């Protein structure tokens, strides 16, 4: 059962977190192109934002299956796992509190009478980079697992 849970955990992580990190990373450069007057970029921005929102909901399954796997393996109290869980919560907070709202604000600027500043895209790129670094750290912890007996 643990192998099944681990496989689902990894598959969902790849399928859910991957598109979020890619779409969120693509959003700021597309904003810059839209500000430069490239046509059709607002539609692309809406699509990227939708990908981030939809896959964020799907990504909730990642920690669910991860905790189920860790429980079955008896490693819930291991430091590497606790740090991974904390980083996952922080990454989810960054996505929900900073990335998605800033994407929405930028889209509102294009949809309404307001204008979008280049600085908003730069700040969004910075926050998105933090989000991606948090997931990279979690991935490294999941692979290396300090104190693991696998020799990795």
Domain ranges of the chain: 2-144
pLDDT band (50, 70, 90) for residue 150: low
Asked if residues 72 and 1 have their Cβ atoms less than 8 Å apart, the reply is yes
Task: Look at 151 and 150; give whichever has higher pLDDT.
Answer: 150
pLDDT of residue 151: 47
Average pLDDT (117-125) is 89
- Residue 114, burial from CB neighbour count under 10 angstroms (0-12, 13-18, 19+): exposed
pLDDT of residue 114: 57
47-101 pLDDT, tens digit each: 999 999 999 999 999 999 999 999 999 999 999 999 999 999 999 999 999 999 9
């Amino acid at each position: 059962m643990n192998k099944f849970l681990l496989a689902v955990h990894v598959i969902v992580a790849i399928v859910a977190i991957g598109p979020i990190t890619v779409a969120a990373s693509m959003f700021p450069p597309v904003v810059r192109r839209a500000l430069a007057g490239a046509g059709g970029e607002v539609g692309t921005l809406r699509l990227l934002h939708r990908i981030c929102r939809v896959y964020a909901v799907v990504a909730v399954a990642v920690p669910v299956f991860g905790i189920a796997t860790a429980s079955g393996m008896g490693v819930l109290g291991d430091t590497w796992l606790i740090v991974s869980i904390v980083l996952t919560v922080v990454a989810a907070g960054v996505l929900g509190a900073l990335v998605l709202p800033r994407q929405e604000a930028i889209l509102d600027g294009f949809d309404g009478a307001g204008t979008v500043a280049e600085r908003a895209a730069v700040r969004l790129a910075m926050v998105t980079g933090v989000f991606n670094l948090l997931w990279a750290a979690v991935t490294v912890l999941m692979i290396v697992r300090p104190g693991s007996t696998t020799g990795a």
